[in-house]
A = this chain, B = another copy of it.
């Protein structure tokens, strides 16, 4: 029994079974609904409006999550409402995950290209009755002759393509072929000049001479993926592109995804296949931009946090999602791309950088690589702010890393009008007396507030004396009593498309939790190292979110230590840069493995003084 469901204004429609939730229907039809909690009914982000049709009755959770006005307008949570008839559903912009800003630029670091895969031009001798050696043997002999190199093995998929490449088109006769041994045919053709892509002693791809062999570096974030297509010969990056991580359909929260994958092999497979399909699409797009084919990609490097790393490699995740948070794998791996479902060159590998711990993954290692922090002499802090924030304190080659659960407030979750950095999101706030000015992404009418806007707003409220040190909203002409307590009106209903955008007391508390987690992490790292914040010579802020924050605001609310602004450096996607370095240079792969082994991992929750430091760091 199935019903027709239509999503407006996207115009996606299709049949779904009776009793399916609207979130499941959206996922089945490829509508990217926000779902931070993965459908558990707790985040309240998958709001949709029922325009027509029959769905299941309102639940208690929805009554709590939705305002009176929203309930009156037929708003529901897509993860709670179930299909009981044909349906038409309106999806408000803040409930859609795309389009969003993604970031692919990063640090420019120069290294000597020393890729794992190198190309060699070679012309095997033609086959004849006098020289009927196997094609593979003649290729091997030609390599030895021309380059004094003997490939020990060829990837099977390469061998499956080799013989036709050694023969000019039309040189092989048409069937039917003869069963008897024919008399010597003097059809000896000069084989074309070939380009053999060799990885160590293994042949991984073969093409015509001059084939441009490419590599792909990807930084797979929980939310966003950044891809870089690299020319392995020159080390140049002819194309780069970002896209959303499609696994978000199963929860923006990474733990929701781990829980989903932990349900069974089919669920884990689905999450992995979604990601791989996105990466294949990304590779195809990048190749199109560079005038190439994915079959030219002979090597790849992937980085991500430990959870993403495990979901990507379909490694077990249940032991990772609970104490003591043990990764299945932390060493760097070299895996055949085809074993993951990636459609690259026949024998291409994917190299994954090492993880350090359950909450400090390969993306952190890549960031350390790109920032060169291991070589820093003065006291240096590198920090990548996100739902999980990883940081590393370095001095004279000593490295100590930690991770804190800063939560998804910066991504807009658990914030009444929170949203990710999409068009219409308030990203900058200035409060001057009674006057509030907001700047939105794309200069659209405001529909919500994103992380950098939230940071700005709280900093301005604090500086304007509208928030006290404990985070309590004081009286002010813009502060009013709302559904869920006191709130500050950022944009009136006339600007916000009939709906005021406000910052509530609870929203401020959420931000305090997030910034408190980050600041206590910094303070504990410094304390364990026996150093003071003022000694920090450099603070490197990496990652997409870190690029957009106003450092002064972050200092104002106490998220970052109060240092001269010129000590801060916002470097963009350093993890992506690190992935590119490891793609171009084997020396960098060795350095990454060495780094991962050298980093001291500090488990913050077990560090003496944790509770006190955290409580202290919550103050504004």
Contact = CB atoms under 8 A, between A and B. Distances in A.
B319 A259 contact: no
A355 B134 CA distance: 9
Interface stretch (A20-28, A48-56, A331-339, A545-553): A331-339
Contact of A132 (B131, B357, B605): B357
Interface string A332-350: 0111001100000000000
A431 interface: no
Contacts of A172: 318-319, 322
Contact of A335 (B156, B161, B258, B314): B156
A537 interface: no
Given A177-B262, A326-B132, A137 B167 contact: no
Contacts of A603: 129, 132, 181
Interface residues of A, number: 73
Nearest to A338: B339
Contact of A329 (B159, B321, B359): B159
Interface in A79-120: none
Contacts of A65: none
A352 B325 CA distance: 42
A328 B154 CA distance: 12
A441 interface: no
Nearest to A256: B179
A405 B181 contact: yes
A323 B134 contact: no
Nearest to A167: B319
Interface in A228-274: 253, 255, 258-259, 262-263
A8 interface: no
A172 B321 CA distance: 10
A153 B177 CA distance: 45
A358 B132 contact: yes
Contacts of A263: 175
A585 interface: no
Nearest to A156: B335
A173 B128 contact: no
Contacts of A177: 255, 258-259, 262, 318, 321-322
A40 B605 CA distance: 76
B262 A175 contact: yes
Given A322-B172, A324-B185, A316 B134 contact: no
A426 B592 CA distance: 72
A135 B327 contact: yes
Nearest to A333: B156
A176 interface: yes
A358 B131 CA distance: 12
Contact of A313 (B160, B176, B184, B605): B160
A148 interface: no
Nearest to A330: B134
Contacts of A183: 323, 605
A290 interface: no
B255 A136 contact: no
A163 interface: yes
Contact of A127 (B127, B135, B153, B319): B319
A432 interface: no
A245 to B, nearest CB: 18
A182 interface: yes
B176 A40 contact: yes
Contacts of A326: 127, 132-135, 163
A338 B258 CA distance: 27
A489 interface: no
A484 interface: no
B134 A605 contact: no
A604 interface: yes
Q: Which of A183, A259, A315 has the most CB of B within 10 A?
A: A315
Contacts of A178: 255, 322
A612 interface: no
A164 interface: yes
A417 B258 CA distance: 67
B334 A134 contact: no
A180 interface: yes
Interface in A169-223: 172-173, 175-185, 187
Contacts of A161: 316
B132 A316 contact: no
Given A167-B319, A179-B405, A318-B172, A136 B324 contact: no
Contacts of A134: 326-331, 355
A159 B309 CA distance: 13
Contacts of A253: 179
Nearest to A152: B331
A362 to B, nearest CB: 12
Contacts of A606: 129, 184
Given A173-B322, A176-B259, 4 more contacts: A153-B334, A156-B333, A156-B335, A181-B359
- Give the 6 A-B CB pairs with smallest separation, nearest first: A134-B330, A163-B316, A177-B321, A134-B327, A179-B255, A182-B323
